[in-house]
Structures are given as C-alpha cells and as structure tokens.
C-alpha cells in the first residue's frame, strides 16, 4: 500500500506542478535585467508573482503566458530587478530613536564645533533645566579633527547648562559624560573598571569622562527610558528608512524586550514591512550562570517568535548576541588583539612607533565559558551571533565555533561573527571550514578617520590586511552584509560601492583618498550576494527568500540603474524605485 501511494503521488506531481504554474500572475515584471542570486546567477528579463510568491522567472516571451485580465504588468524599461536586501546586523529601534534626539549626524568635527552643536540642543531644550538628561547621539568620535584629538568632560562642562549630558559615539562602544552625569552615576577615582568595560582616567586617576563598553551601561538605569509609544515611533521610522533603501529583512543584533515589543505592535497593526529577526543579548556578566542565560533566550523566543517564515512579514527569534570584545579604533583600543598595539616611544614631534605591551582587554568570555554557551545555544536551536573586532576576539569566536561543531556535528546551527575588522591570516580559511559566517559592514573598508586613525598603533603589516573582506572571500568564506546602523547612516549602496572599490567618496578630504590596505576587495556579484542570499542563509531564511526563484516569497527591489555594469563609483548613486515584500509593494517611486 505504501508503494502504491508513492507511485500515485509521483504520477500526480507533474499535474500538480502544471496546475500551479498555469493561470495568470497577480503581478508581472517585464523588459528588465533580473539578478536572481540563485546558485547559477541565472539571468532573466521577466518575473511573475502569484499569491505573494514567485511564480516563474525567465524571458518576456516565456512568461507572457501568465498575463490575465487582472494581471498588473510592470514595464521595467531595462531597469534592474533583484532580491530584496537582507541586512544581517543592525540596531533599528536605536537607529530610529536617533532621529528623535540631539544628533551630531556623524560629522567630522573639532571640539569647538562639537560644543556648538550640543549647545544648540541645550538652547532648544531649556525647559529641561536644571535636571533633565541631555543624550547626544551619532558622534563620530574617530573622525574628530585634528586627527587624534581627545575629548574629555571639560568640553561638556564648559557648556551653559547644569544638566547631566552624555554623548554617545556612533560606534556604540564609547560615551563621553560631563561631570554632573559622572556624579549622578557615582563614577569616581575609586570606581573599578567593570567586567567588559573601561573608565578612562587622567594622570591623577580621576575619570576623564570617557567610558567604554560596560562602563557606560550605568546610564541605562539613570536616563529615562523611551516610552512604549516612542519606541513604536522609532521602529516605524526605521522601517520607513529601510523600505527606501530596499531592505526587506533585518537582524536586530542586540535586541532588548522593548525593541521586540515595538515591532510586535507594528506587526499587530499591519505596519511591519520587513521580516524582523531579533538576537537577545547574553552578557559577559552572566558567565557564572550560562544555563540561566540560555534559558532566558529560549523563553524570549517562546514569547515572541511567530514560527516559520510566511508571506506576511513576521517576527523571528532564533539568534543570540554575544560581545567578545570592543573596538579596535582609536582612542578606545578595546579590541582584543593577538599581538600588542604599538606605542610611540618617541615624541609628538619625532614619533618612534614600536610594539607596546597592551593587547587590549581579555576576550569578554573565557574560552571554556564561550564553548559552553555556544554548545548550549546550539542544542536549543539558537544561532550565536558574536561581536568580534580584534583578531584575538575573532580567533576566540572561531575556537568556540570549533567546539560547537565538535559537540554537535550534524546540527544546522549557523554561527556568525560580526565585524572581523582584523583577522589573523592563519584564520582566513577557518570560516569556511567551520561554516562560520563573517558579517561585514562594507562601508568601513575605506580610508577614513576610523581606519587610518589606527595606522600607527597597528604597524604597517597589520594595516595591509585591515578589513579583510577580499581575503575572506578568496578563502571561501560565506560573507554576509550587515550595515550596523546607526553606527553609520543607513546608506546600503555607498557601502556596496566601498566593498567593491575600497575607496571613500570622491569628495573626501585628500588624506582619505586612495584604497585601504592590500586587500583585493569584492566583486560586484559577491557584494550583492552578501546582502541577499548569504544574509538570508545567516538568518535561516534562505529557503524562503534571498534569491529570485520559483516558489520563494516575492521579496524584491527595482533599481534605477544596474550596479553590475555602471562605473564602480556610481554604485553609490543607486536609487531604489520599488520595494516588494511577500508580493506587496511597500515602497514605490516608479
């Protein structure tokens, strides 16, 4: 009876397939250049959609059979059609919230210009004197002028206000606080550095006002939290920005409960326009009870996860975030390194740079603890998403992944390491061997204040391989893209241009001209696949989206030009003309 049933199903399959492929499409794109991102990078000119899924991809002539009385036909007029962008690492509620706060807009500033920008905010919010907190965001600390200038609390204390002020670096790892804020946080010369953090001090041991990583988390309990309504507003603003950039799926790579709740509210109201994935944070301070930490993530998933990917955008929780270090950039130097940062053994006038003694902090999770938590996450079906900036932290993450693979050799767990700004060459091939996904922010792969600011501290050999995207691609790594918004403004197409050219904008200052390092960069196809099928794989979504293939959900975008053929600099000028999620048009400028 079983053999007979199988035979019956085999005989019926062609008829079922024919029935599915026959009949009209709901929407039909014609006369375009279609980048499918499938395994063969198949070329096509037309695409048909029915019931939110891709019905067929092929030539205009072949797909003409899907035209019916109610079919919406879109003449692309030679424009470019591709899968919707999958952003594998961002912080959307925080990003949307920056649009509602005192904002320095990532500008390259002198200390005086920074003071003037904050003073404007002080004047605009005089009603909050004398005790209301002022939170300033999008401070591009690494691009302050002149290069290497250091800020301290005196710059904020000089402002005409009594209010507590904190200024958040756009990189998210540094806060500058004025004296009032330090006093309210009870940070003094006697305050020890917390686990996973650093308090900068002057020659007398007093806090300078600069706080790294866990050291500034104390402000989280002091600054009034946004209301639920403000979080929803921030999430809505983030979704609007994503639609315009062509982002159809994203990972919130350090999701607080309030973040997920904001998107859940939008989801219930039918306003969720991108597939939302969330990675709750496991902190280094939880190292003594990792079982409870993993149980908390599992409970988070049970509360919010909406199950398999479906036509309508929904909420998914199957990732967990872990910080392994801070950042390699100056002046923080909280990236965990294999070899020491260099130091100036000479003078400012006659510098003499030599290897120093500091390798940055210890990796935030000891090796045994990291292996334990990764294996426990794997057993729970949770993909680890590890922040690792320095090559020491990267190696620790790869070692932890190796322990995971040894313990669970057949489990479909997809560990990712985000940032990977410096990687030891001996580790290039380990990503592919361990199936670990490097999630890279391509916009960093250029000469700029953050990358060139580490030149003397890294030495010439390490600078040759900083931001090693091309080397990782050559070694077979499955590279995924993550914007890390709001660390930078959300500008996916500028990021893709940098990924190809490793150059800054043509109008960048003279000191930021040329290419960064010796890395060969990425091909255009590799860049586009990183932000489509590879990032979809990272999020366990590649069976449903990430490429344009019959049967997959119709997540796609239309562009005003072909990023595979325009001059490389013009990739940054790409404009999204239409964004479609599950067959529904969520943004159009056609």
pTM: 0.87
- Strand 247-252 with 207-213, pairing: unpaired
Cis amide prior to 579 (ω within 30 degrees): no
Bridging pattern class, strands 383-388 and 416-419:
parallel
Alpha-carbon span 536 to 249, nearest angstrom: 8
CA distance 379 to 409: 11
- Tokens linked to 501: 């050219």
Helices (H) and strands (E) in the chain — how many of each? Answer: 18, 27
Neighbours of 186 (CB within 10 A): 10
The CATH classification number of 85-550 equals: 3.20.20.140
DSSP letter at 553 equals: B
Per-residue pLDDT of the chain (590 residues; tens, 9 = 90+): 344 443 444 444 343 343 445 689 999 999 999 999 999 989 999 999 999 999 999 999 999 999 999 999 999 999 999 999 999 999 999 999 887 889 998 888 999 999 999 999 999 999 999 999 999 998 988 788 887 788 999 999 999 999 999 999 887 779 999 999 999 999 999 999 998 789 999 999 999 999 998 899 999 999 988 999 999 999 999 999 999 999 999 999 999 999 999 999 999 999 999 999 999 999 999 999 999 999 999 999 999 999 999 999 999 999 999 999 999 987 788 999 999 999 999 998 999 999 999 999 999 999 999 999 999 999 999 999 999 999 999 999 999 999 999 999 999 999 999 999 999 999 999 999 999 999 999 999 999 988 998 999 999 999 999 999 999 999 999 999 999 999 898 999 999 999 999 999 998 888 899 999 999 999 999 999 999 999 999 999 999 999 999 999 999 999 999 999 999 999 999 999 999 999 999 999 98
Element (H, E) at 539: none
Helix (H, G, I), strand (E, B) or coil at 392: helix
């Amino acid at each position: 009876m079983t053999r007979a049933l199988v035979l019956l199903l085999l005989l019926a399959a062609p008829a079922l397939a024919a029935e599915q492929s026959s009949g009209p499409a709901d929407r039909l794109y014609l006369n375009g250049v279609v980048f499918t991102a499938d395994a063969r990078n198949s070329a096509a000119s037309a695409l048909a959609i029915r019931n939110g899924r891709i019905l067929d991809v092929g030539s205009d002539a072949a797909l003409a059979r899907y035209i019916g009385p109610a079919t919406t036909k879109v003449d692309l007029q030679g424009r470019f059609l591709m899968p919707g962008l999958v952003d594998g690492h961002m912080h959307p509620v925080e990003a949307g919230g920056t649009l509602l706060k005192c904002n320095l807009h990532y500008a390259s500033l002198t200390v005086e210009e920074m003071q003037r920008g904050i003073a404007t905010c002080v004047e605009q919010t005089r009603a909050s004197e004398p005790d209301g907190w002022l939170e300033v965001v999008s401070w591009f600390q690494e691009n302050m002028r002149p290069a290497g200038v250091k800020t301290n609390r005196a710059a904020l204390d000089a402002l005409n206000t009594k209010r507590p002020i904190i200024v958040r670096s756009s990189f998210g790892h540094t806060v500058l606080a004025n004296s009032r804020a330090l006093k309210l946080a009870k940070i003094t010369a006697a305050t020890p550095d917390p686990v996973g953090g650093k308090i900068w001090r002057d020659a007398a041991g007093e806090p300078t006002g600069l706080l790294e990583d866990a050291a500034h988390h104390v402000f989280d309990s002091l600054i009034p939290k946004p209301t639920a309504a403000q979080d929803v507003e921030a999430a809505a603003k983030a979704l609007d920005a994503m639609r315009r950039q062509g982002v159809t799926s994203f990972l919130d790579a350090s999701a607080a409960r309030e973040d997920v709740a904001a998107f859940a509210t939008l989801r219930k109201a039918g306003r969720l326009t991108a597939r939302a994935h969330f990675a709750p944070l496991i902190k280094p301070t939880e190292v003594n009870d990792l079982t409870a930490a993993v149980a908390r993530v599992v409970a988070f998933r049970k509360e919010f996860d909406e199950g398999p990917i479906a036509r309508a955008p929904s909420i998914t929780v199957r990732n967990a975030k872990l910080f392994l270090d801070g950042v390699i950039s100056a002046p923080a130097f909280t990236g965990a390194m294999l070899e020491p940062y260099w130091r100036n053994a000479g003078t400012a006038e006659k510098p003499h740079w030599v290897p120093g003694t500091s390798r940055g902090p210890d990796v935030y999770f000891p090796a045994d603890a990291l292996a334990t938590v990764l294996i426990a996450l794997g057993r729970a079906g949770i993909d680890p998403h590890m922040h690792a900036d320095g090559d020491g932290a990267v190696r620790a993450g790869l070692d932890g992944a190796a322990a995971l693979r040894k313990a669970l050799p057949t489990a479909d767990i997809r560990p990712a390491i985000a940032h990977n700004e410096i990687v030891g060459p001996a580790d290039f091939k380990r990503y592919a061997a361990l199936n670990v996904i490097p999630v890279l922010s391509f916009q960093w792969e250029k000469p700029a204040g953050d990358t060139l600011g580490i030149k003397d501290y890294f030495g010439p050999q390490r600078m040759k391989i900083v931001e090693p995207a091309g080397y990782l691609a050559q070694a077979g790594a499955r590279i995924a893209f993550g914007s890390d918004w709001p660390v930078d403004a959300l500008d996916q197409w500028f990021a893709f241009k940098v990924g190809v050219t490793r150059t800054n904008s043509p109008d960048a200052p003279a000191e930021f001209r040329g290419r960064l390092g010796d890395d060969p960069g990425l091909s255009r196809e590799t860049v586009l696949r990183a932000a489509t099928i590879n990032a979809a794989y990272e999020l366990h979504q590649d069976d449903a989206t990430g490429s344009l293939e019959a049967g997959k959900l119709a997540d796609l975008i239309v562009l005003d030009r072909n990023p595979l053929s325009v001059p490389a600099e013009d990739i940054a000028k790409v404009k999204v003309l239409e964004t479609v999620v599950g067959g529904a048009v969520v943004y159009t400028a056609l």
